[in-house]
Amino acid sequence: LQTDLITEFSTHPVRNIVNEDSDPLQQQPVVEFDQIARAYFERGGKMFRPMVALLMASACNEAVAQTNKFSPKLESLEITESQYKIGKIAEMIHTASLIHDDVIDEAETRRGRATINSAYGNKTAVLVGDYILARATQVLCSIGRPNVISIMASIIEDLVLGEFLQMQLINREKLMDDYLRRVYKKTASLFANSCKSVAVLAEADKPLENVAFEYGKNIGMAFQIIDDLLDFVASQEDLGKPTSNDLKLGLSTCPLIYAAEQYPELYVLMSRKFSEEGDSEKAHEMVINSSGPEKARQLARFYSTEAARLAATLPNSNGVTDSLLEIALTQLDRSS
């Protein structure tokens, strides 16, 4: 998949179909632009989203084949080209959102390297993110299924709304509800709707489609809650990006929301988004000395256990369900 993503930005399909006689206005390859996008995919990354989507594709294909056992279609057990494209699109949407996120967060490093905004400036970073999103849209349309296009488009909408919600002022009465809604939109929606798309492409029935969606949603919730916990407790070397960053960005995440129940003075710092000298250091100290990190871990455990329960309802051909289970349960132990 990584090679495929690199190729996507090496041989541009539009460029491949233009020939000597065609419209010169269309013969304007912007090679540097492809290079910047390609370099981003060459850095690698965990490819966690495609992995979850493609394992789910395999599990759904098997489940559908089992219900049709009087007319088994052997080829249906394999991941189809369309399902593979969902994995690829998920990674492209994720990458585009990270490139834009680094502009918003003014981040200097990502995956242990300089961000596009720090190397080339904000304008280039915004456009490269848009470009990757445009290419993802082309791949999505090539699947040729309007309802899958709609499901995958809802991810982009959720990402943008999640990012917007994050910028709004906090409401003390519903801190946790708002946090969980944000986590769903900015992270879990991508897992949930990619899993739902591969289920739709497996011709799954509604209950199976729902299991796929809910598995992805619960994995995504656990993943982001652990991410927010690691921001307080992990090292920069492990993460490949700055830690203790959320407070500096004015964000109230779950370890802090729990810590505030123990140290109510945190509400004052939260409402001014840790903007005064020494605020973020003070808040960090209080969070680390509170039961916030442990409670955050328990919340992540709730979601990962639910994901594991859902995975266990799927057929286990070639250990696919074992892998989905393992992914659910190892979320809690990851350190990067």
Q: Where along the sequence are the contacts to ligand FPP (CB under 6 A)?
A: 93, 96-97, 100-101, 104-105, 107, 129, 133, 156, 159-160, 163, 186-187, 241
Closer to Mg ion at the Cβ: 105 or 228? 105
- Tell me the closest approach of the beta carbon of residue 333 to ligand FPP, in angstroms: 19
Instruction: Based on the shown chain and the rule CB under 5 A, indicate whether residue 227 belongs to the binding site for Mg ion.
Output: no
Position among 8, 34, 91, 101 found at the interface with Mg ion (CB under 5 A): 101
Task: Answer with the entry of Mg ion, ligand FPP, none that 186 interacts with (C-beta below 5 to 8 A by kind).
Answer: ligand FPP
Residue pair 106/164 in contact (Cβ under 8 Å)? The answer is: no
Task: Answer with the entry of Mg ion, ligand FPP, none that 93 interacts with (C-beta below 5 to 8 A by kind).
Answer: ligand FPP
Span 103-132, contacts to Mg ion by CB under 5 A: 105
Closer to ligand FPP at the Cβ: 93 or 201? 93
Closest CA to 2 of 118, 92, 121, 108: 92
Closer to ligand FPP at the Cβ: 91 or 279? 91
Residue pair 103/128 in contact (Cβ under 8 Å)? The answer is: no
Backbone conformation region of residue 250, classed left if phi is above 0, alpha if psi is from -120 to 50, else beta: left
Task: Answer with the entry of Mg ion, ligand FPP, none that 97 interacts with (C-beta below 5 to 8 A by kind).
Answer: ligand FPP
> Stretches 42-50, 94-102, 177-185, 197-205: which one binds Mg ion (CB under 5 A)?
94-102
Task: Answer with the entry of Mg ion, ligand FPP, none that 139 interacts with (C-beta below 5 to 8 A by kind).
Answer: none
Closer to ligand FPP at the Cβ: 155 or 266? 155
Residue pair 97/155 in contact (Cβ under 8 Å)? The answer is: no
Closer to Mg ion at the Cβ: 13 or 121? 121
Task: Answer with the entry of ligand FPP, Mg ion, none that 156 interacts with (C-beta below 5 to 8 A by kind).
Answer: ligand FPP
Closer to Mg ion at the Cβ: 159 or 328? 159
Task: Answer with the entry of ligand FPP, Mg ion, none that 189 interacts with (C-beta below 5 to 8 A by kind).
Answer: none
Task: Answer with the entry of ligand FPP, Mg ion, none that 159 interacts with (C-beta below 5 to 8 A by kind).
Answer: ligand FPP
- Tell me the closest approach of the beta carbon of residue 304 to ligand FPP, in angstroms: 19
Closer to ligand FPP at the Cβ: 156 or 266? 156
